[in-house]
Amino acid sequence: FDKKYSPEVMAEFRKGYNKTFREILPEIVHRLAPQTAYTQSSPDTANWGSAKSLAYGDSHYWGLWHGREPFEVLGQKNSPLHERIRISGVP
């Protein structure tokens, strides 16, 4: 993804991501539901080539889409939540 866009465009993507997921959303969640924990996710766990990344609470397993693996592969990947397709992972 980062090879497709210039460093300047990627810097703007990161800036927008950080503003949204590390500033705006945590503040809104805290204001509207202070008892609710907010955990920012993507792209922190987006390395689908690393089994270690599946240990995080929220995981993007890109092997399904970009790796063109069959849907059934998710039954073999242990992650509490498979992000992007929003299905519960194996406990």
pLDDT digits (tens, 9 = 90+) for 60-81: 666 766 667 787 877 776 655 5
Q: Classify residue 36 by burial, with Cβ atoms within 10 Å: 0-12, 13-18, 19+.
A: exposed
Residue 58 CA to residue 40 CA, distance in Å, equals 9
pLDDT digits (tens, 9 = 90+) for 15-40: 988 898 889 999 999 999 999 988 77
Claim to verify: residue 48 and residue 7 sit in the same structural domain: no
Claim to verify: residue 52 and residue 88 sit in the same structural domain: yes
| pTM, two decimal places | 0.50
At position 24, the amino acid (one-letter code) is I
Which domain does 34 fall in, by range? Answer: 1-40
Claim to verify: residue 34 and residue 77 sit in the same structural domain: no
Residue 3: predicted pLDDT: 73
Q: Which element (helix H / strand E) includes 88?
A: strand 87-88
Closest CA to 29 of 21, 38, 39, 20: 38
pLDDT digits (tens, 9 = 90+) for 41-62: 655 555 555 666 666 655 666 6
Claim to verify: residue 90 and residue 49 sit in the same structural domain: yes
Claim to verify: residue 4 and residue 35 sit in the same structural domain: yes
Claim to verify: residue 48 and residue 86 sit in the same structural domain: yes
